[in-house]
Amino acid sequence: MNRYSALFLTLALFVTTVAHSQYALQTGKMQVNGGIGLSSWGLPLYAGLDYGFDKNISFGGEVSFRSFSERILGERYSSSIIGLAGNANYHFVEMLGIDDLFDVYAGLNLGFYIWNSSSNYIGTGSSGLGVGAQIGGRYYFKKNMAVNVELGGGNAFSGGKVGLSFLLD
């Protein structure tokens, strides 16, 4: 079983093993997120903030960094990518009638990325916008702390990410 199948199975368990209640990130409250991404281009690290706009909608932003190296035609290249992204998510907790220990969501994101590469002879840089989508879930193992698993596509975390979320009072 590859890592993407394992993440999908974990997310499916979030959805199928739950009972009744409400979304853990309340309207007007914030949470801090952080962790590692899954990618074939290095191991991205991320930190972000989400704001509960409505009982089912959140807006947020995050910053990410990754660094990796590869060998192409005998030449060694080192690259780093810095990203800044905003996201909007719809939380399905109320619709699915699931317990407040769980949070299942899906949404869209828009990011700006700066990519720097260098070899023994040259250095290059580029930047651009990325649009992506995500589906994720959280399990609150404490009142204000959760494990977060998210699968995404079309952005800096196209493989997905795993981390922790902390509710702020």
Does domain 3-168 match CATH 2.40.160.20?
A: yes
Question: What is the rounded CA–CA span in Å between residue 119 and residue 62?
Answer: 29
Residue-range domain boundaries for the chain: 3-168
Rounded-to-integer distance, Cα 65 and Cα 81, Å: 6
pLDDT at 12 over 60: no
Q: What is the pLDDT of residues 15-34, one digit of tens each?
A: 444 333 444 678 889 999 99
- pLDDT-based confidence at 14, cuts 50/70/90? very low
Segment 140-155, tens digit of pLDDT: 999 889 999 999 876 6
Q: What is the pTM of this model?
A: 0.76
Pairing of strands 145-153, 123-142: antiparallel
Backbone angles phi, psi at 95, to 5 degrees: -60, -40
**Facing residues of 57 across strands?**
90
